């Protein structure tokens, strides 16, 4: 472990792999099956355990616990399960992230450039894309999928097996029990679709014409009173196709838990 900066009180197990530029703060523990990429900074009192891989340039703040056993009664200590974290992620204080379970595919996967604010939690078998934000104390149940550029408000909870579409935003303190459509703004207890995520789409440089088309599609899907199948048929027939419309249609068609109403 050359060119690493390990505080004298930190515990690094034999077998842990630390790349050049890694720093580990006071009283942190890095266990034997952990692999940490270049220039990762681990704060004080952190625990990184399990078969966990962390990509380069991540920052892990004080008291985060990364890779600890899934909170699932079916989990066995003999299960061969993994946690893969990409590059440039920020993991703030007291965040907890669990690996997968044998029954759920064995892997939790986190992409690049995400921000996990203090006390947020990613449960077993989740898949988080790129450029996502989980605000303070936001929680993902097991088997949740979060697409790119999604934002989850503070103290919100996403039920097991739900999906959150790309460029969606969930308001704080929301209870998400069904799939959150891409490009949407959802809020409530339980969460409902309120509108398109206008501010998020503007920041993503969506043109006014693209946003207008999405508004029309949302009106058909959520305000027409049609069944999901009939609403999607009307969208296909009446709205000019685009990558965004195609993604919305695919997301809705493949929803197993149903869409937030």
Q: What is the rounded CA–CA span in Å between residue 20 and residue 9?
A: 20
Would you give the distance in Å from CA 242 to the centre of its chain? 26
Biggest alpha carbon–alpha carbon distance for the chain: 66
From 67, 86, 142, 165, the catalytic residue: 142
Task: Please report, in angstroms and rounded to a whole number, the separation of the first and last CA atoms in the chain.
Answer: 53
DSSP element (H, E) containing 247: helix 243-253
Q: Are 94 and 125 contacting, i.e. CB atoms less than 8 angstroms apart?
A: no
Nearest in space to 82 (alpha carbons), one of 58, 111, 102:
102
* Residue 247 is among the residues annotated as catalytic for this protein: no
The DSSP symbol for 52 reads E
Tokens of 103: 């029954």
Q: What is the dihedral of CA 210, 232, 193, 162, to 10 degrees?
A: -110
* Residue 125 is among the residues annotated as catalytic for this protein: yes
From 125, 141, 187, 200, the catalytic residue: 125
From 45, 121, 124, 143, the catalytic residue: 124
Q: What is the rounded CA–CA span in Å between residue 22 and residue 181?
A: 38
DSSP element (H, E) containing 114: none
- Sign (positive or negative) of CA dihedral 189, 193, 195, 200: positive
Nearest in space to 119 (alpha carbons), one of 94, 101, 98:
94
Q: In Å, how far are 94, 171, 186, 210 from 198, measured between CA atoms?
A: 32, 14, 12, 11
Known catalytic residues are 124-125, 142
């Amino acid at each position: 472990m050359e060119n690493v900066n390990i505080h004298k009180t930190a515990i690094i197990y034999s077998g842990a792999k630390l790349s050049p530029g890694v720093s580990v703060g006071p009283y942190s523990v890095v266990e034997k099956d952990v692999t940490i990429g270049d220039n990762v900074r681990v704060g004080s009192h952190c625990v990184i355990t399990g078969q966990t891989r962390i990509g380069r340039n991540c920052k892990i703040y004080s008291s985060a616990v990364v890779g600890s056993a899934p909170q699932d009664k079916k989990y066995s200590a003999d299960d061969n399960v993994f946690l893969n974290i990409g590059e440039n992620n920020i993991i703030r204080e007291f965040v907890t992230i669990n690996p997968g379970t044998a029954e759920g595919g064995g892997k939790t996967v986190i992409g690049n450039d995400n921000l996990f604010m203090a006390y947020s939690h990613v449960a077993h078998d989740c898949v988080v894309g790129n450029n996502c934000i989980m605000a303070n104390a936001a929680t993902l149940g097991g088997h949740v999928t979060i697409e790119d550029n999604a934002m989850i408000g503070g103290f919100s909870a996403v039920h097991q097996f739900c999906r959150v579409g790309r460029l969606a935003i969930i308001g704080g303190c929301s209870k998400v029990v069904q799939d959150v459509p891409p490009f949407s703004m959802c809020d409530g207890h339980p969460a409902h679709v309120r509108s398109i995520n206008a501010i998020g789409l503007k920041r993503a440089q969506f043109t006014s014409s693209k946003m207008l088309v999405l508004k029309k599609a949302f009106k058909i899907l959520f305000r027409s009173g049609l069944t999901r199948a009939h609403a999607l048929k009307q969208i296909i027939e009446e709205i000019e196709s685009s990558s965004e419309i195609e993604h919305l249609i695919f997301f809705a068609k493949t929803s197993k838990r149903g869409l937030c109403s």
